């Protein structure tokens, strides 16, 4: 049992200001209590913001070398405890151990290494004629993170903020709080100055609201659902603070009509099931040539049925979804797809055979149309919708017919055609035949959010621009 009932404020572990309220954390694979956390209050936020404001005066003036030394110390400590972080992720949100100790923790480490690389070359000052343009840290930042990729979403905010000279308060997800607790220990043991990093566990409706409305918080960076992001913008408006939002998605994966179609359909289907479908940029709409639908259905069904589901500490490709509530939402969408008349070619309602405990969902594939609810709304589970297109212009039209625009995918043999399709898709990040880049900006069009994270674009989120006119004589 994990017992995390203190917060990290002003360089030390401290009890909540108000009388302790606790919440149980449920292991989604067993449905059993695995630990407890304290639930913070606005009084804890006031205390943490005051500490961050005091620390900002000094930390904002540190040199690039000082911040590089700090980040490199954190890097060594992160790598020392990487396995421990991965095991915590498996316990808190159900990712298979190979994924929790693999891509989950690799993402956090990658964002840390990228922050170091970018900081070494980043220009905080530039002279343009008579004017000096300075990039200065924005101030005290409220960082609100989700449960689906705990290290990715947390590290992509913390390390650029540290690198640029900001101070911060982290509000981790209530459903998956363990890895954030360990990361706070890593930062403390690495010598992050008191008040620079603070962390409060608790409910988003309380801690998040207290941060977004606080007059001494200069910026909010939030990753999560569209409705919450909309409310954060409204709450932050009164204090005119900067708000960075990375919200939902209903990303299209366009497969070209060529000899690799079957393999690309299989890869897209298996990819959708990764992390139990709980990925905001997942290719949840698979767009394929209508003329080859029989071939597509066979490849997708075989791929989905080949995804093994079970105990995340065992040798399975897919674990449970994060909670009972999430399981129920996904089941409602699967039932809705059947009700709408979509063709179910794999999976379906209920748990996979042989699993009567834990929030396990069958890898599910429908063939449907883009006007169905299951093709319009973010399900956030292992549910794929296949949609046929007549030609590539039609495919692009379907892809862009969404309120979201976070991710996109194009697969095919003809690279120039893939590139042309990618230019026409209205979305923030597109993967052409796979690939990965920690320096590529990540963020959304339309209702998928505002701002960009990752690489040097992520640094810009935490910086103000100052013009000093007359720096040089005319």
> In the chain, pLDDT over 70 holds for what percent of residues?
100
Indicate the Cα dihedral angle 29, 35, 39, 44, nearest 10°. -120
The residue-averaged pLDDT of 65-77 equals 98
The residue-averaged pLDDT of 260-285 equals 98
The residue-averaged pLDDT of 385-393 equals 98
Q: Residue 146: which of 278, 11, 297, 332 has the closest Cα?
A: 278
The residue-averaged pLDDT of 306-331 equals 98
pLDDT confidence of residue 263: 98
Does 347 score more than 90 pLDDT?
Answer: yes
Q: Residue 147: which of 101, 206, 104 has the closest Cα?
A: 104
| Contact predicate 410/433, CB 8 Å | yes
- Give phi and psi for 184, each to the nearest 5: -60, -40
The residue-averaged pLDDT of 203-210 equals 96
Number of neighbouring beta carbons within 10 Å of residue 471: 15
Using a 10 angstrom Cβ sphere, with 0-12 exposed, 13-18 middle and 19 or more buried, the burial of residue 402 is buried
Which residue spans within 39-139 are E strands per DSSP?
A: 125-128, 131-137
The residue-averaged pLDDT of 6-33 equals 96
Query: String of b and e for 163-199 (b: at least 16 CB within 10 Å)?
Result: bbbbbbbbbbbbbbbbbbbbbbebbbebebebbbbbb
Residue-level length of the chain: 474
Does 385 score more than 80 pLDDT?
Answer: yes
Q: Active-site residue 91, yes or no?
A: no
**Cα-Cα-Cα-Cα dihedral sign, residues 405, 409, 414, 419:** positive
The residue-averaged pLDDT of 220-242 equals 97
Chain mean pLDDT for the chain: 98
| Contact predicate 233/213, CB 8 Å | no
Domain limits, CATH 3.40.309.10, in the chain? 252-438
Confidence of residue 19 (pLDDT cuts 50, 70, 90): confident
The first and second tokens of residue 8, run together, are: 């990290």
Could you give the C-alpha distances from 93 to 55, 278, 293, 323, in angstroms and in order?
33, 10, 35, 8
The residue-averaged pLDDT of 204-215 equals 97
pLDDT confidence of residue 221: 98
Tokens 């609201």, residue?
209
Does 253 score more than 80 pLDDT?
Answer: yes
| Contact predicate 137/82, CB 8 Å | no
C-alpha to C-alpha distance for 426 and 474, rounded to whole angstroms: 44
C-alpha to C-alpha distance for 57 and 460, rounded to whole angstroms: 20
pLDDT confidence of residue 91: 98
> In the chain, pLDDT over 90 holds for what percent of residues?
99
pLDDT confidence of residue 356: 96
Does 397 score more than 90 pLDDT?
Answer: yes
Could you give the C-alpha distances from 251 to 23, 75, 109, 288, 437, in angstroms and in order?
34, 33, 26, 14, 19
Bigger pLDDT: 61 vs 474: 61
Domain limits, CATH 3.40.605.10, in the chain? 2-247+448-469
pLDDT confidence of residue 474: 83
CATH classification for the domain delimited by 2-247+448-469, as one of 3.40.30.10, 1.20.1250.20, 3.30.360.10, 3.40.605.10: 3.40.605.10
The residue-averaged pLDDT of 158-177 equals 98
| Contact predicate 286/268, CB 8 Å | yes
Which residue spans within 52-199 are E strands per DSSP?
A: 125-128, 131-137, 140-144, 167-171, 197-199
pLDDT confidence of residue 365: 99
Q: What is the CA radius of gyration of the chain?
A: 23
pLDDT confidence of residue 413: 98
| Contact predicate 258/412, CB 8 Å | yes
Does 20 score more than 90 pLDDT?
Answer: no
Which one of 246, 378, 460, 461 is the catalytic residue? 246
C-alpha to C-alpha distance for 129 and 148, rounded to whole angstroms: 47
Residue pLDDT, tens place only, 122-159: 999 999 999 999 999 999 999 999 999 999 999 999 99
For 252-438, CATH gives 3.40.309.10
């Amino acid at each position: 049992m994990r017992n995390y009932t203190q917060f990290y404020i002003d360089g030390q572990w401290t009890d909540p200001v108000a009388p302790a309220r606790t919440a149980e954390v449920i292991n989604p694979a067993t449905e059993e209590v695995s630990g407890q956390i304290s639930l913070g209050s606005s009084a804890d936020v006031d205390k943490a913001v005051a500490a961050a404001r005091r620390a900002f005066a000094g930390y904002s003036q540190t040199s690039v070398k000082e911040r590089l030394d700090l980040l490199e110390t954190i890097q060594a400590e992160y790598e020392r405890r990487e396995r421990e972080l991965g095991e915590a992720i498996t316990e808190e949100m159900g990712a298979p151990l190979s994924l929790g100790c693999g891509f989950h923790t690799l993402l956090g480490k990658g964002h840390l290494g990228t922050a170091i690389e970018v900081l070494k070359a980043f220009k905080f000052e530039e002279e343009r004629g008579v004017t000096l343009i300075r990039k200065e840290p924005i101030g005290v930042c409220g960082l609100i993170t989700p449960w689906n990729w705990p290290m990715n979403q947390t590290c992509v905010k913390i390390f650029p903020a540290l690198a640029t000279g900001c101070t911060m308060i982290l509000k981790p997800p209530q459903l998956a709080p363990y890895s954030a607790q360990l990361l706070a220990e890593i930062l403390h043991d690495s010598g992050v100055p008191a008040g620079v990093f603070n962390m409060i566990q608790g409910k988003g409706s309380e801690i998040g609201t207290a941060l977004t409305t606080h007059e001494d918080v200069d910026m909010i960076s939030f990753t999560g659902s569209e409705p919450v992001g909309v409310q954060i913008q409204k709450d932050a408006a009164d204090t005119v603070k900067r708000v960075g939002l990375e919200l939902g998605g209903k990303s299209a994966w366009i497969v070209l009509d060529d000899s690799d179609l079957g393999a690309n359909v299989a890869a897209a289907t298996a990819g959708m099931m990764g992390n139990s479908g709980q990925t905001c940029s997942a290719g949840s709409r698979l767009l394929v040539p209508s003329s080859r639908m029989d071939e597509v259905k066979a490849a997708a069904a075989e791929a989905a049925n080949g995804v093994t589901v079970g105990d995340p500490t065992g040798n399975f490709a897919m674990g449970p979804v994060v909670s009972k509530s999430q399981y129920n939402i996904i089941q409602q969408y699967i039932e809705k797809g059947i009700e709408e008349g979509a063709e179910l070619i794999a999976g379906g309602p209920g748990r996979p055979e042989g699993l009567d405990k834990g929030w396990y969902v069958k890898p599910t594939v429908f063939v449907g149309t883009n006007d169905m609810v299951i093709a319009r709304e973010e399900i956030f589970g292992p549910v794929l919708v296949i949609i046929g297109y007549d030609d590539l212009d039609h495919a692009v039209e379907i892809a862009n017919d969404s309120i979201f625009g976070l991710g996109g995918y194009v697969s095919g043999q003809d690279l120039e055609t893939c590139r042309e399709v990618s230019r026409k898709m209205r979305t923030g990040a597109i993967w052409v035949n796979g690939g990965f880049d920690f320096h590529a900006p990540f963020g959304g069009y339309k209702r998928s959010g505002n701002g960009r994270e990752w690489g040097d674009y992520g640094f810009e989120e935490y910086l103000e621009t100052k013009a000093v006119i007359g720096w040089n004589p005319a």
